[in-house]
Structure 1
Amino acid sequence: MAVFASRRLARWIPGLLRNLTRRRLRRWIESVHDVQSMQEVVEFYMNRSIRTTTWGLSQDGLEKFQPGKAHVFVSNHRDIVMDPAFTNLLLHRAGFSTLQIGVGDNLLKKPFVADLMRLNKSFIVHRSLKGRELLLALQLLSEYIHHCVEDSENVWIAQREGRAKDGIDRTDPALVKMLAMGKRKLPLYESLAGLHIVPVAISYEFDPCDEFKARELHEVRTTGSFTRTAAGDLRHIAAGMTRFKGRVHVAFGEELRCENEDAEAVAAAVDRQIIRNYRLYETNYRALEILLDEGELNSPALRQAAASRNVDIRSRDLFDRRLARVEGELRKLYLFGYANPVISRYECEAGAN
């Protein structure tokens, strides 16, 4: 929060700025007495974040929706907090009801974070439970999501557990099955149809956590595992809020036509919309171009895609400067994190032909 107040002062006098920001927050929080007033505080910081950490926030697809009709927005997941926050802000600006947001229980280990999440209309997605406890929790979660939609409340939930650290967006069929559990007496497709599911694709020109993600992937590849910590999650949250993102785009897809009993087929239908609607930037094509030039990929079709783009010099030069700071052992993973959305688009379009 202090960084939002002043980036320069945050570097020069961080302690003093933290105290001043804490006082300002205390004054604002004293005015918070319900969800609406809490979201007004969040909106202030969101607008400041857009001004200071992006080249602009845009959207397409919202014009298709009708006020008063609720949806479950199944989104790709790139940033812990900012994905639902940007989606929420765009809905609010367009006059739609704000979101009930699904949040993993791993993010609620610190009580103050849990309280803030709940005040901002978040609900818990339990991931640490096992066996029957997990089954009961998923049943309750699904029933709650159905209740929200029936009560004209929009819902945001990630397409799978965790962020897509490698840039590959894939929906977990287990999510589809969970969403259908709330109406267990109905066929899967009929239960899902009542949720009015809309796939959402959010894209960041510059991923604020790109190096963090590459490091996690590298650790998994070299040691076989990565241990998440509450402190690490908070660092990623802070980076997502304060680091530069370039342009950010949220694409709202078409309401899913649920006509299939196969959860994997439904998940694939969500994927197709997310992959096709994902806005590709110069950073994606530049990363692909470098991987092709360095022999990490060998595809004439992908080379043609990279060569035929309209080069955005500002974006390319900034990407090259950021890449130059990436440690050698992380470089390939870093590049694929940006290039994979282009590869996914090509594979999706090739599969449709």
Structure 2
Amino acid sequence: MSDNSALQDPFREIRPYRDTEVAEVLNRLLYNDEFIRAVTRYQFPRLADWCGFLVRPLVRMGLAREVGDIETVRGFQQLVAKYMAKMIARTTSRLSCSGLEQLDPQEAYLFVSNHRDIAMDPAFVNWVLYKAGMNTVRIAIGDNLLRKPYVSDLMRLNKSFIVNRSARGREMMTALNQLSAYIDHSIAEGESIWIAQREGRAKDGNDRTDPAILKMFYMAQRKQRSFSEAVERLNIVPVSIAYEFDPCDRAKAKELYARASAGGYEKGQFEDIDSIVAGITGQKGHVHVAFGEPVRGQFESPEALAALIDREIVGHYHLHPSNLIAAGEMSGMTPEQKAAFDARLDGLEPGEQEILRQMYANPVINKRNLEAA
């Protein structure tokens, strides 16, 4: 990329695709054999293995018909919405939302969210905003998830932007400054952002904001305004997402147990992609998305802001029967609810079972501690 083009489009390497780029990217996806194989496995799991070579050309033709007239990001997201509606019908018993009445459809917000599922957290936030007639968000996604070109293309078509987690040293500071500037730029031009409260999922069920994320927000503004002024400008809204059942709970428990018992855990090359697929296709039960109030006030430090966001996320977390059962709060629970939770433990080692149980119990413990404070 030339210096001139970098000046004209300083966020080109990390930003979502623009309308003018959509047709070219969709065409590239149609001719990506790995992408077609992945779609075939998802749509026709029984046929993909033994006669995939016959099915894949039909899948490619079907996709070509679906995307043939799409020329904008909005058009692509409307297609995604069709699949999202099917996924919600298949994998959730209910999807509910609270706090939307506190948001102004004409405003842009920086949604700082707890993080349980790689793809579904921002997808559910997008869905409830979309159904309410509000603009969808630009989604922060780590470059560790984009090792496959077709995944990167799909994410950036769906308004995702890239967080460069692999950068080191001076390159890291450059990347963080660019990211900070991009977030500020997006809010200023009226585009909302979704970002997790910390790097990586909260695999143990403890939702804690990393102050380093909040420091990054301020980096691009530190020469022009105070930290509190920057917070006001970014229009931060804490978001709490609660799954009755986490499709990746067993995998998380196995990983945490391996780390605790063996001193480490080696992640597979495409394990994150497998987690994305499991999160999309797995049963989730009741899912609740809770929006807190836009953050206002004076903050002496990122740590003070992190503490407020934590209180909002924990306070608005919707406790499901699975959480209450795991925490030993059995009053009002039915035998069916108890059996559904116990099924999550089947086949796990005792140490893995305890970690999974604690994973579901921690939101209850944290909420009760907040209520008692």
Q: TM-score normalized by structure 2?
A: 0.84
Write the distance in 2 (CA, Å) between the matches of 1:117 and 1:4: 17
Among 312, 315, 329, the alignment partner of 1:273 is 312
Q: For structure 1, which segment, 105-114 or 321-330, has the greater mean C-alpha deviation from structure 2 after superposition?
A: 321-330
Asked if the contact 1:3–1:242 (Cα under 8 Å) also holds between the matched residues in 2, the reply is no
The aligned counterpart of 2:87 is 49
Query: Which string of whole-angstrom CA distances, capped at 9 and with x for unpartnered residues, describes residues 190-225 of structure 1?
Result: 111101100000000000100111111112112333
> Which residue of structure 2 lines up, in the alignment, with residue 156 of structure 1?
194
More off after superposition, 13-22 vs 132-141: 13-22
2: distance between equivalents of 1:258 and 1:101? 26
| Equivalent residue in structure 2 for 1:242, among 264, 278, 281 | 281
The corresponding residue for 1:299 is none
* 1:137 and 2:175 correspond: yes
1:327 and 2:353 aligned: no
Q: Give the whole-Å Cα distance in 1 for the aligned partners of 2:130 and 2:41.
A: 25
Structure 1 residue 99 corresponds to structure 2 residue 137? yes
Tell me how far apart the structure 2 counterparts of residues 90 and 49 of structure 1 sit (CA, whole Å).
14
Output the CA distance in 1 between the equivalents of 2:59 and 2:116: 28
Q: Distance in 1 between matches of 2:207 and 2:315?
A: 11
* Structure-1-length-normalised TM-score: 0.89
SS at match of 2:234: coil
Preserved contact between residue 4 and residue 45 of structure 1 (Cα < 8 Å): no
After TM superposition, where is structure 1 displaced by more than 6 Å over at least 4 residues in a row?
none
User: How far apart, CA to CA, are the structure 1 residues paired with 2:133 and 2:260?
Assistant: 45
Cα separation, 2, equivalents of 1:161 and 1:22: 35
Question: Shift of the alpha carbon at 1:274?
Answer: 0.4
Superposition deviation, residue 258 in structure 1: 3.8
State the shift of 1:97 in Å. Answer: 0.8
Picking from 196, 202, 216, the partner of 1:178 is: 216
CA distance in 1, matches of 2:233, 2:198: 21
- Does the 8 A contact of 2:177 with 2:216 survive in 1? yes
SS at match of 1:194: helix
Counterpart of 1:295 in structure 2 is none
Q: Distance in 2 between matches of 1:329 and 1:32?
A: 50
DSSP 3-state at the match of 2:208: coil
Deviation at 1:22, TM superposition (A): 4.7
- Amino acid corresponding to residue 354 of structure 2 in structure 1: K
**Distance (Å, rounded) in 2 between the aligned partners of 1:116 and 1:4:** 15
Cα gap change, 1:310/1:157 in structure 2, threshold over 3 Å: closer, same or farther? same
Alignment partners' CA distance in 1, 2:42 and 2:144: 26
Give the deviation of 1:63 after TM superposition.
1.3
Equivalent residue runs for 1:190-339 within 5 Å: 190-289=229-328, 306-307=329-330, 309-339=331-361
**CA shift for structure 1 position 30:** 3.2
Equivalent residue, structure 1, for 2:369: 347
Residue correspondences, number: 330
Tell me the residue number matched to 2:101: 63
- Following superposition, the deviation at residue 135 of structure 1 comes to 1.1
Residue 13, structure 1, aligned to residue 35, structure 2: no
| Alpha-carbon distance change, 314 to 31 in structure 1, aligned in 2, over 3 angstroms | farther
Q: Which moved more, 1:51-60 or 1:313-322?
A: 313-322
Deviations 1:246-271 (A, max 9, x none): 00000000111241121111001000
Asked if the contact 1:205/1:245 (under 8 Å) is kept, the reply is yes
Letter in 2 for 1:287: A
What is the rounded CA distance, in whole Å, between the counterparts of 1:29 and 1:230 in structure 2? 30
Task: State the alpha-carbon separation in 2 of the partners of residues 2 and 136 from structure 1.
Answer: 40
Unaligned ranges ≥5, structure 2: 1-38
Unaligned stretches of 5+ in structure 1? 290-305
**How far 1:3 moved relative to its partner?**
7.3
Cα shift at 1:347: 1.7
CA 318–181 in structure 1, closer or farther in 2 if over 3 Å, else same: same
Q: Which amino acid aligns with 2:111?
A: F
CA–CA separation in structure 2 for the residues paired with 1:22 and 1:79: 29
